[in-house]
Amino acid sequence: MARVSLGPCDIPEGGFRAFDLGGERLLLVSRLGGSLHAISDWCNHAGCLLSQGEFTPEIVTCPCHGASFDRQSGKNVNSRELCGDQRVFPVFEEKGQLFVEFED
């Protein structure tokens, strides 16, 4: 498991921030109920950026085809037949910095 620093942890409650890690890993990190959550920013069905979609406190919706995903678990909540769940990653704050873990 590799730990990657994303920089200062400046995500407000209910907010999100998208990260590009070397052009390959795109993450959408959000803060809900004081906890941080990281989900793949690429929709696994349409290849669109979820960060350009619609948000509710717990759901992000793909701007291309309307699939909705739980921001904490990555579970597809409305269109199982179109696409699977989004990948999620461990993310945490340490000394004011944001970190995410990936499998090597």
What's 45's domain CATH number?
2.102.10.10
**What is the number of domains present in the chain?**
1
Does the pTM surpass 0.75? The reply is yes
pLDDT band at 61 (very low <50, low <70, confident <90, very high): very high
Strands (E) in 22-75, as ranges, are: 25-32, 35-40, 54-55, 59-61, 68-70
Using alpha carbons, select from 43, 22, 25 the residue that is nearest to residue 91: 25
* Structural domain boundaries, residue 88: 2-102
pLDDT band at 24 (very low <50, low <70, confident <90, very high): low
CB 55 within 8 A of CB 62: no
Q: Which residues make Cβ contacts (< 8 Å) with residue 16, sequence separation at least 6?
A: 28, 29, 30, 31, 51, 55, 60, 71
